[in-house]
Amino acid sequence: MSADAGVVEQVVAAAIAELNLQRGADEKLGDGPSALLFGDGGPLDSLGLVLLIAELENGLEQACGVRINLADEALLEAEDMPFRSVGTLQKYLINLP
């Protein structure tokens, strides 16, 4: 998959915006690169991560026409787990093979 940075940023922002429609006022996710998502200190629980991943997969499929699977256990257990923050997520998606 090749997605330019602009497309990835839009897809990630849209996914976060969708999740924020489901979250309380004091639980909103940030959309800046340093905003934490999942893992130590991140606001997402496992259900939130499932929802985020589904939004990202659907958004990338619509934007790039490619089906990808981000619900990969190895990905979640990796030292540089991409769902740590908005910035790490964007970087991972831009560099997807």
Residues forming the site for another protein (CB under 8 A): 18, 21-24, 47, 50-51, 53-55, 57-58, 71
Residue 6 vs 24, nearer CB to another protein? 24
CB of 5 to another protein, least distance (A): 25
CB of 82 to another protein, least distance (A): 17
Residue 54 vs 75, nearer CB to another protein? 54
CB of 66 to another protein, least distance (A): 15
CB of 80 to another protein, least distance (A): 22
Half-sphere exposure of 15 toward its Cβ, with a 13 Å CA cutoff?
Answer: 27
Phi, psi of 13 (to 5 degrees): -65, -40
CA dist 78 and 50 (Å) reads 17
Contact indicator for 43, 37 with CB cutoff of 8 Å: yes
CA 77 to chain CA centroid, Å, is 16
Residue 39 vs 87, nearer CB to another protein? 39
CA dist 70 and 83 (Å) reads 10
